[in-house]
Amino acid sequence: MKSEIMTDEDLVKECVSGSSVAQKKFYDMFARKMMGVCLRYTNNYEEAQDVLQDAFVKIYNKLPDFQSKGSLEGWVRRIMVNTALDAYRKAKKHQSNVDVDTVGYMLDSEDYTVESINAQDLLKIIQSIPEGYRVVFNLFAIEGYSHKEIADRLGVTESTSKSQYSRAKKMLRKILIDRNIVEESERL
């Protein structure tokens, strides 16, 4: 591997050719940021590590197929999200269904923004909401998927995606208010 700065394309070529130095560089380039993605979809750090590891195995196997038509980071992120969704679906099969409609919601549907909260605290709060809410919230609010795309990926209806997202926002807003992170009148 050259000591000069490599382009993403060069790095991919080196990884595909089997260079362990390039593969380590590739991992170091994305692991930290992608761990944040994994943490948003899992219940704890250990599960996130498993998803991260599984995703990197998939990435290394699919690197020869990378076309350089979009950003390498976007391609890596897509695989991370899909791997996290696979893990979610697998775990969901082993859990009993909970009727989320039985949960009471006390707040209206206005949108709010949080201006000052530690990212780690916000991640913990997001991890505390039910998985179905969390997955839809992450896909819509953070990853930018449409409700139709979410519905297709999760095998639910578009209206289910919209209602899960709405309920996730309400639950997050309630948690932030209950923990005195924001006041009820503040726009989150």
Is residue 125 scored above 90 in pLDDT? Answer: no
- 112 and 85 share one domain: no
Name the token pair of 3. Answer: 């000591």
Would 185 be classed as within a structural domain? no
87 and 137 assigned to the same domain: no
Query: Are 131 and 172 within one domain?
Result: yes
Tokens of 128: 């505390």
In-domain check, residue 81? yes
| Final residue belonging to a domain, choices 49, 71, 93 | 93
pLDDT cut 70: percent of the chain above it: 80
Question: Cα–Cα distance between 143 and 137 in angstroms, integer?
Answer: 9
86 and 106 in one domain?
A: no
Q: Which domain holds residue 86?
A: 8-93
Please give the pLDDT value at position 114. 45
What is the number of other CB atoms lying within 10 angstroms of the CB of residue 150?
23
Same domain membership, residue 105 and residue 60: no
* 146 vs 183, higher pLDDT: 146
**Domain shared by 120 and 164, yes or no:** yes
Instruction: Decide if 138 is inside a domain.
Output: yes
Indicate the residue among 43, 58, 93 that finishes a domain: 93
Q: Are both 161 and 111 inside the same structural domain?
A: yes
pLDDT digits (tens, 9 = 90+) for 75-91: 999 999 999 988 888 87
Instruction: Give yes or no for a contact between 153 and 69, defined as CB atoms under 8 angstroms apart.
Output: no
Q: Give the max Cα distance, the chain.
A: 60
Residue carrying the six token digits 């005195």: 180
Helical H segments across 17-146, by residue range: 20-41, 45-62, 72-93, 119-128, 131-137
State the pLDDT at residue 97.
41
Residue where a domain stops, chosen among 43, 75, 93: 93
d(CA 58, CA 48) in angstroms, rounded, equals: 15
pLDDT of 70: 85
Burial track 61-82 (b if 16+ CB lie within 10 A, e otherwise): eebeebeeeeebeebbbebbbe
- Tell me how many domains the chain contains: 2
CATH number at residue 113: 1.10.10.10
